[in-house]
Every structure is written in C-alpha cells, then in structure tokens.
C-alpha cells in the first residue's frame, strides 16, 4: 500500500499516512490526488474564518505537494520517471500552482518508499528534507543556502549517498522568492512553471533528497508485461517517438512552427523569423549535441546533453536547450546566437528559474525599452535591445538575484509591464507567460491558452498536435469550428497523464485505451478509456472550482489584446487574429460551466464532493 509523507516545517513534525483509496479511485494519483488533498487543506483554511482569496502564496498557509502516480517508477510503463508538484496558490498567477518534471526524482521517490510528500507551514531557518529507505528527516540546510542548484545537487548526493539518489532543489532565485523560480532536479530537469521554487523558498526549504531500493508492486505481472510489450511496439512504430524526438529533441519544432508563420518573434510582434534556423534543432544537433539522454525508464530519450566548446559562452557540459527555452530565450528576445541561448538556459537551470517566463519577461522588457517606456537610466548601463546576447545572459543573473534592473524583471512580465505603463505588452494569460506558438496561426491553442487552469500553458491541452503536426489527424489550424471539442479532450487526457505521472510525449503514440490497459494491470482495478477520460474531466473541474474561490472567472479566460485585435503583420498567417469569444462559448457549453465556473450540477455529475 502506498504512503504519503506529511511534513510540517513550522512544527518540524513528520507523519506517515496511507493512500486514501477513495481518492486514488477518483483521482488516480499525481496531480489529481494532490488536488484532492489540497482541496481539503483549502477547506481547513476557510473553516478557520479565512477567505480563500486571502491565502498568501508565500505564506506558511500555502501547501506544497510533490506527487508520483500509479505509472511512476515501474520499468516497462512508458516514460515512468516523472513527478508533479502542486501548490494551493502560485505566487506568479494567484491560481493553483502546478508543474511537472522528468529526470529520475519521481521514480526514486517511489524507491525511497513514498508516493507523495505534503509540505505545510514554514521553517524559520533553511532546511532540507531527506527521504531515505522509508524514513523522512528534516535537516539543517544553512550551509547550502545561497548555493546554486548544481552545487546543492552534488553536495546532497555525497551527504546522503545510498542507492538511487536524486535531488530536487531551489537555487538563488527560489531563495530570493522570485515568482518565476522553479524546482530543479537532477541538475537539468525542472518543475519550472508557476513559481513553485519561490513557494519552497518561502518555506526555507532548500531541497528534497530521495534514495532507496523499494520495489513498486504490480497487481497483475503477466498482463502488465503484455500491455507493456504492446505499448513499446506502438512507440517503436511511431516516427515521432522512435525517430524524430530521439534524433533531434524538441527543438526540431523551431523550423516547423516558424515556417507555419507562428513562431513568436520579438515579443510576439511578428510570427516569422528568417534567421530561426540558427537556433533550430538541426543546428543544435549538428554543432553542439554530445548525446541524447532519457529520463528514468524512458524509451523516447528526447533529452539533449550538449556542449559549447569555445567562445564567450563556453560550457563544458549541459543539457538542452529545449524548444521552449530556445524560443523564449532566443527567438522572442531576437537573440540568434545559439551559444548565448544555451548559456542563458544553463544559467536558468543553475539559478533555478523558468526559462519560458524569464525569456518572455526579458522580451517584454526589450519591447518596453524599444518603445521608450523603459529608459536607458532605468537599465543602469545594460543595453536591453532585441538581439543583444550579452544583455540576455546578464539578465538571467540579475533576475535570479533581484539585482539592478533585474528586481523589476524578477516580478514577471505582467507586473513589469504594469509598472512601466503598458500592461498589454505582457504576453501572458492569468500572469503566466505563454509558450512558443502564436495562436493567430492555430486557433485551438489560443482557446487552450485562455482556458488553461494554470495560465498561459501549451501542455495543458496541446492542440498543436492535430492543428500543425497532424497527430492523431490533421485539422485546419485557422478555423474555430470544432476546436472546443479538441481542447477539452486534450485537457482531460493530459490531466490523466499528469495524474498517472508519465510523460505527455508518450501520447504521440499511445492513447487513453493504452493507458487504461497498463493501469488496470498495475493497480488490479479494471479501468476503461471512458473511466480515464471521466477522471481527467473530474480533475480539470475540481481545479477550476478551486480557482473560482480565488476569484477567477470567465473574464480571466482571455488572451493578450495583440492576439485578439492586431492582425499578424506578415508571413504565412498574415492578417489573422483569434476569434476567442466564439470558441469560448462552445467550450463553456461543452464543459457545463457558467461564467467560466463549473455549475453545482456539473460538480455533482462528476462526483466531486464539496
């Protein structure tokens, strides 16, 4: 039977609880299970006479949960190395905090004897948590405070030792409560989005190190082996999972999305960059790739180990940059020097900061400067112009340390642009900076960005897959009809995969029926494709309901005015804007929501107990 560690950093107490079977059946694990637990904590907070709207994301009342799922840590389950982090509230968006990461930490938490860790309260002094062979400890971390994620990782590995060690930690950005700070594990993987590194920092929690050799039980070994064989066969026969991703990594998308005219360039002013090939997956593979690197147990191996052998941005060894990093740090800022982009990405890992939000915020600052709203004297000597590689690299450090102009950029693009008088230049939704696809070229992803519970996010409902890549089938990206169905289906299924806690990239080859077969074998509970999609819908609605308590409504399901009202100036989708209202109407009708909030009838239908 699985275990959940509940750690109170105020009282410095540790409790071990069993998995709640009812929650496991209704929410699977991972994100869903964590959400169910968070809802209990939210009700507890309200029962003390507090209003949910007053919950401080950086206060001790915020709760952080690191969770694995029934698909994690099992050799033979597709891409089983991940973990999901949830918080009652994100310091960047004010909505639910949610982020997901690969590497080894998720699998090794299971081997350390736990399915999830709940972290409440806050310590007065820096601490780290150890989870070793079933025992949880809280330790003094004063000698680690101030250190980068790389140094923290190697020091704690030596300190704790043992079999299957992995470290998830924060760097200076999280310690400094930068709202874009992420949680970094295995040095180059991160639960980057929504500022969960700052939540850790507010609790003075420097790191969680896990180690152990517990075996993860499987209910029906014979059936699991058959299901696993079938799943791996499908991945082998799929060109994306067997060839595209392992050969080139995710940055192969740069040229695809650019040629489709929707690779946001210079803070989304344009959608086509004639020089994009300089920062593409082809260029990285040809000149900088050392080898591919899989997460634990993964057959796809999209990870890139890279090296910049010479020049001012030399790096002995690093990982990435991924597509999103290359875009945010490179194309959005206009920096076409891939070595500088790789260095900036490396610094994001080292200092513990989300490259998407960081790159996008720097790009917003560049446009504010271009328009004369940020003056030279504000910048204290830094030339924050589009394309300036040195300014890009310097900015990463300044943001993580809230130093110089970095103290403004560290706030994220929404607050930065508000302060400097042009809020419309923040290319974000609910305060979370949008990723690398301009919805003027693919309307469905626009609807997804607007309705994604955690803010401007693509993986919440990756309709780029059918709209641009043609997976599982091709739909016209420029129409709005039928997009609501696709967005809902992708959002619900992604909720499932984030709750079994496996990699979304498996879904290029596998569907809900494959997951149902695998999960039935692992858990011994018979699940169908329909069961899983209903669970996904339940998770999505619970999250949306909780957000509504913070004040989120349909008014927050929107896009920046640039995408709604400024036609794309040129390129293949010249003249396009996003007709969001039509898609939103369809979407809310499909979801059973009124004003962006699930009705009580919908919550009852989904068996969400209030």
Return residues touching other proteins (CB under 8 A). 238-240, 243-245, 247-253, 255-256, 259-261, 272, 277, 281-282, 302, 322-324, 458-459, 462, 465, 468-471, 474, 476-478, 504-505, 508, 571-573
* Pick from 87, 88, 110: nearest CA to 4: 110
Of 283 and 395, which has the nearer Cβ to other proteins?
283
Supply the minimum distance, in Å, between the C-beta of residue 244 and other proteins.
4
Supply the minimum distance, in Å, between the C-beta of residue 180 and other proteins.
19
DSSP string, 94-115: SS-EEEEE-SSHHHHHHHTT-S
Token readout for 581 is 């209202």
* Pick from 113, 51, 61, 106: nearest CA to 83: 106
* Pick from 8, 32, 7, 10: nearest CA to 20: 32
Supply the minimum distance, in Å, between the C-beta of residue 462 and other proteins.
7
The gap from C-alpha 32 to its chain's centroid, in whole angstroms, comes to 15
Of 323 and 593, which has the nearer Cβ to other proteins?
323
Supply the minimum distance, in Å, between the C-beta of residue 500 and other proteins.
18
Of 197 and 321, which has the nearer Cβ to other proteins?
321
Of 238 and 361, which has the nearer Cβ to other proteins?
238
Supply the minimum distance, in Å, between the C-beta of residue 394 and other proteins.
28
Decide if 138 contacts 208 (C-beta within 8 A).
no
Of 170 and 240, which has the nearer Cβ to other proteins?
240
Indicate the angle between helix axes 443-451 and 483-500, nearest 10 degrees.
50
Of 172 and 320, which has the nearer Cβ to other proteins?
320
User: What is the rounded distance in angstroms from the CA atom of residue 465 to the CA atom of residue 207?
Assistant: 35
Of 259 and 561, which has the nearer Cβ to other proteins?
259
Of 221 and 282, which has the nearer Cβ to other proteins?
282
SS3 at position 190: strand
Supply the minimum distance, in Å, between the C-beta of residue 303 and other proteins.
12
SS3 at position 564: helix
Q: What is the DSSP letter of 267?
A: T
Supply the minimum distance, in Å, between the C-beta of residue 273 and other proteins.
13
SS3 at position 403: coil
Of 212 and 435, which has the nearer Cβ to other proteins?
435
Supply the minimum distance, in Å, between the C-beta of residue 550 and other proteins.
28
Of 341 and 468, which has the nearer Cβ to other proteins?
468
For the chain, the first-to-last Cα distance in angstroms comes to 27
Token readout for 477 is 């990206």
Of 478 and 590, which has the nearer Cβ to other proteins?
478
Supply the minimum distance, in Å, between the C-beta of residue 150 and other proteins.
24
User: What is the rounded distance in angstroms from the CA atom of residue 275 to the CA atom of residue 367?
Assistant: 19
Q: Which residue has the tokens 């009580």?
A: 600
DSSP string, 139-185: EE-TTTTT--HHHHHHHHHHHH-SSS-EEEE--HHHHTT-TTB-EEE
Torsion sign across C-alpha atoms 541, 547, 553, 555: negative
Of 37 and 504, which has the nearer Cβ to other proteins?
504
User: What is the rounded distance in angstroms from the CA atom of residue 440 to the CA atom of residue 445?
Assistant: 9
Supply the minimum distance, in Å, between the C-beta of residue 269 and other proteins.
18
Supply the minimum distance, in Å, between the C-beta of residue 23 and other proteins.
29
> What is the 3-class SS of 6-65, one letter each residue?
EEECCCCEEEEEECCHHHHHHHCCHHHHHHHHHHHHHHHHHHCCCCHHHCCCCCCCCCEE
The four Cα atoms 100, 103, 109, 112 give a dihedral, to 10 degrees, of 180
Burial-class residue 157 by CB neighbours within 10 Å (0-12, 13-18, 19+): middle
The residue length of the chain stands at 610
* Pick from 295, 321, 268, 353: nearest CA to 166: 295
Supply the minimum distance, in Å, between the C-beta of residue 240 and other proteins.
4
Supply the minimum distance, in Å, between the C-beta of residue 193 and other proteins.
12
Of 129 and 494, which has the nearer Cβ to other proteins?
494
Q: What is the DSSP letter of 265?
A: B
Bridge-partner residues for 289, per DSSP? 306
């Amino acid at each position: 039977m699985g275990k959940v560690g509940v750690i109170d950093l105020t009282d410095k107490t540790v409790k071990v609880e069993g998995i709640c079977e009812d929650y496991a059946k209704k929410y699977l694990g991972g994100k869903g299970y964590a959400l169910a637990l968070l809802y209990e904590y939210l009700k507890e907070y309200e029962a003390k006479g507090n209003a949910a709207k007053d919950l401080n994301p950086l206060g001790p009342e915020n709760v952080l949960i690191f969770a694995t799922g029934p698909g994690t840590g099992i050799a033979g389950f597709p891409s089983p190395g991940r973990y999901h982090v949830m918080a009652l509230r994100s310091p960047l968006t004010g909505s639910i905090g949610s982020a997901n990461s690969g590497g080894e930490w998720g699998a090794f938490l299971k081997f350390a004897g736990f399915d999830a860790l709940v972290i409440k309260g806050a310590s007065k002094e820096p601490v780290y948590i150890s989870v070793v062979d079933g025992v949880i400890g809280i330790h003094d971390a004063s000698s680690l405070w101030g250190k980068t994620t790389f140094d923290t990782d190697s020091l704690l590995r030596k300190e704790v030792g043992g079999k299957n060690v992995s470290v998830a930690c924060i760097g200076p950005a999280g310690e400094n409560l930068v709202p874009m700070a992420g949680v970094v594990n295995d040095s180059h993987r991160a639960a980057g989005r929504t500022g969960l590194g700052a939540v850790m920092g507010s609790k003075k929690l420097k790191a969680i190190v896990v180690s152990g050799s517990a075996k993860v039980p499987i209910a029906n070994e014979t059936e699991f082996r058959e299901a696993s064989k079938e799943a791996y066969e499908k991945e082998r026969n799929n060109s994306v999972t067997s060839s595209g991703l392992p050969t080139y990594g995710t940055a192969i998308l740069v040229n695809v999305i650019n040629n489709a005219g929707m690779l946001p360039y210079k803070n989304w002013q344009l959608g086509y960059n004639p020089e994009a090939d300089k920062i593409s997956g082809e260029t990285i593979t040809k000149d900088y790739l050392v080898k591919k690197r899989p997460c634990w147990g993964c057959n796809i191996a999209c990870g890139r180990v890279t090296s910049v052998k010479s020049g001012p941005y030399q790096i002995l060894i690093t990982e990435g940059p991924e597509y999103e990093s290359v875009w945010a740090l490179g194309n959005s800022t206009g920096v076409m020097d891939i070595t500088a982009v790789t260095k900036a990405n490396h610094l994001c890992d080292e200092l513990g900061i989300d490259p998407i939000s960081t790159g996008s915020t720097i790009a917003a600052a560049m446009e504010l400067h271009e328009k004369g709203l940020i003056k030279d004297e504000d910048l204290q000597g830094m030339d924050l112009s589009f394309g300036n590689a040195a300014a890009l690299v310097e900015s990463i450090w300044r943001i993580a340390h809230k130093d110089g102009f970095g103290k403004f950029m560290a706030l994220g693009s929404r607050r930065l642009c508000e302060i400097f008088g042009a809020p419309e230049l923040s290319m974000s939704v609910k305060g979370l900076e949008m990723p690398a696809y301009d919805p003027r070229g693919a309307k469905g992803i626009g609807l997804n960005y607007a309705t994604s519970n955690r803010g401007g996010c693509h993986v919440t409902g990756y309709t780029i897959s059918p709209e641009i890549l043609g997976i599982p089938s091709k739909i016209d990206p420029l129409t709005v009809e039928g997009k609501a169905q696709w967005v809902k289906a992708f959002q619900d299924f992604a909720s499932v995969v984030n709750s079994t806690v496996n990699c979304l990239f498996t879904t290029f080859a596998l569907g809900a029926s494959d997951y149902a077969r695998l999960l039935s074998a692992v858990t011994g509970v018979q699940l169908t494709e329909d069961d899983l999609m209903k669970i996904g819908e339940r998770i999505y609605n619970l999250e949306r309901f909780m957000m509504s308590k913070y004040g989120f409504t349909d008014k927050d399901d929107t896009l920046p005015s640039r995408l709604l009202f400024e036609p794309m100036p040129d390129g293949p989708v010249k003249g396009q804007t996003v007709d969001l209202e039509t898609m939103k109407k369809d979407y809310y009708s499909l979801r059973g929501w009124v004003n962006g909030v699930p009705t009580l009838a919908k919550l009852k239908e989904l068996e969400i107990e209030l």
